[in-house]
A = this chain, B = another copy of it.
Amino acid sequence: MPIDPLNLRRVSVFQNATDDDLRLFAKNGIERSIEEGEYFFFQGDPAIYFYVLISGRAKLMQANPSGQQVNLRTISEWQMFGALGAVSEEATYPASAQALEHSTALAIKSAFLKEMMNTRPYLSFDLMKLMTDYIQEMQERYRELATEKVERRIARAVLRLTAQMGIKTADGNIELAFTRQDMAEMSGTTLYTVSRVLSEWEKRGLVESGRERVLIRNPHGLVQIAEELD
Contacts and interface: CB of A to CB of B under 8 A. Distances in A.
Contact of A117 (B70, B125, B148): B125
Contacts of A87: 125, 128-129, 132
A126 to B, nearest CB: 9
A68 interface: yes
A229 interface: yes
Interface string A122-153: 00110111011111101111111111100000
A135 B84 contact: yes
Interface stretch (A19-27, A58-66, A197-205): A58-66
The bracket for how many chain A residues form the interface is 35 or more
Interface string A186-202: 00100000000000000
Nearest to A145: B145
A50 to B, nearest CB: 12
Given A66-B229, A88-B132, A88-B133, 12 more contacts: A62-B143, A64-B144, A65-B229, A69-B147, A70-B146, A72-B139, A87-B128, A88-B129, A94-B136, A117-B125, A138-B142, A145-B146
- Counting from the closest, the 3 A-B pairs by CB-CB distance are A124-B124, A146-B188, A138-B138
